[in-house]
Amino acid sequence: VHRIGVFTSGGDAPGMNAAIRSVVRTSLHMGIECVGIRRGYHGLINGDFVPLDFDSVSGLSRRGGTMLYSARSEDFKSKQGLERAEATCKLLGLDALVGIGGDGTFRGLLTLAQKGLSVIGIPGTIDNDIACSTYTIGFDTACNTALESIDKLRDTMLSHERCSVVEVMGRHAGHVALNVGVACGATVVLVPEKEVDYEEDVMEPIRRARLAGRTHFMIIVAEGVEGGAYGVAQKIHEATALDTRVTVLGHVQRGGAPTVRDRIAATYMGYEAVRLLAEGKDCRVVAMQGESYVDYDITEALAMQKGLDQQTYTVMRVLTGV
Ligand code: F6P
């Protein structure tokens, strides 16, 4: 491998910058050049790039977002888009690509691998929904950001004896909701992976908490739950007459300086990606299994399924008294 193209794609996640820095510096250490492709697959199609050297990634570890910008590209899915991406790789003399993102990013890499490029994927998404990896870059920071806001909300809900319904990100996955719910001591946690029985899962825990003398309640709802936080709040108000307030945390969860966990994971994964390429391996996803760094074939990784962590789910149910 002589020249690697690195890019970020899909929803940004805190720690992506640290991963870019690591890819660049590891490459240089191994005598490989590095080029940054901007705006994900859009940049690959349009030849939007920036040469990266040791100094250009200095100070990046602590910065949220992605210096390479990110996008969700529809054009890449067309035959013409793919051809243009291939042409850009040829023009820039890239023999390998490292893509940081989620499943969509890995599917794109797979198409390019089928055209003969060496590709490696790094899991970067706050959702932690990459099946082959127990951890994805950005998850810890997003959970901490959500938790900080929820702790603040609790103060005001307590003062006014209200019921707070907080919507956290996760269109298809409830990992953020579940972890944040356990960490903040929520009354109820709702995730898209489980069908909601309103009587049993929501009203009962609230009634029990009320009987035990509670005067304020914290309900955590993942974005993907039917009706969202507004729908849930409405139902709670109708069934209990509690004074409810909805807070949708939204994209604030995607920003901010990455935590230690995200900086370390991103840095290791960036290093691993280049190491694999230097060893002649390709079409792999760097992943974590527990605290170890491993790698999977992209096709294999994409075929895997990931459910909620059963232990965390059980603990949540026990502690919310469901
Ligand atoms: O995949 C990350 C994520 O933040 C999801 O949790 C959320 O559903 C989605 O992206 C939002 O996407 P966008 O930033 O395009 O609105």
Please identify which of the residues 127, 129, 262, 295 carries the catalytic annotation: 127
Predicted-assembly ipTM surpassing the 0.95 threshold: yes
Q: Is 102 annotated as a binding residue?
A: yes
d(CA 57, CA 77): 30
Confirm or reject: Cβ of 103 under 6 Å from ligand 1: no
Examine the residue annotation and report whether 127 is marked as an active-site residue of this protein: yes
What are the φ/ψ torsions at residue 93 (nearest 5 degrees)? 70, 30
The tens digit of pLDDT for each residue in 248-290 reads 999 999 999 999 999 999 999 999 999 999 999 999 999 999 9
Q: Which atom of ligand 1 is nearest to the CA of 102?
A: 1
Give the pTM.
0.97
- Contact 169 CB / ligand 1 (< 6 Å): yes
Q: pLDDT tens, 162-210? A: 999 999 999 999 999 999 999 999 999 999 999 999 999 999 999 999 9
Q: What pLDDT is recorded for position 75?
A: 87
- In this structure, which residue's CA is closest to atom 8 in ligand 1? 171
Q: What is the mean pLDDT of residues 2-29?
A: 98
CA angle 43, 44, 50 (to 5 degrees): 60
Q: At residue 89, does pLDDT exceed 90?
A: yes
Instruction: Tell me the average pLDDT of the chain.
Output: 97
Res 164: pLDDT: 98
Q: 210 and 163 in contact (C-beta within 8 Å)?
A: no
Q: Which of 9, 103, 167, 169 to mutate to test the pocket of ligand 1 (most atoms within 8 A of CB)?
A: 169
Given a cut of 90, is residue 321 above it in pLDDT?
A: no
Known binding residue 150? Answer is no
Query: Atom 15 (ligand 1): residue with closest C-alpha?
Result: 11
Q: Give the contacts of 99 (CB within 8 A, at least 6 positions apart).
A: 6, 7, 8, 9, 40, 105, 106, 108, 109, 119, 120, 121, 122
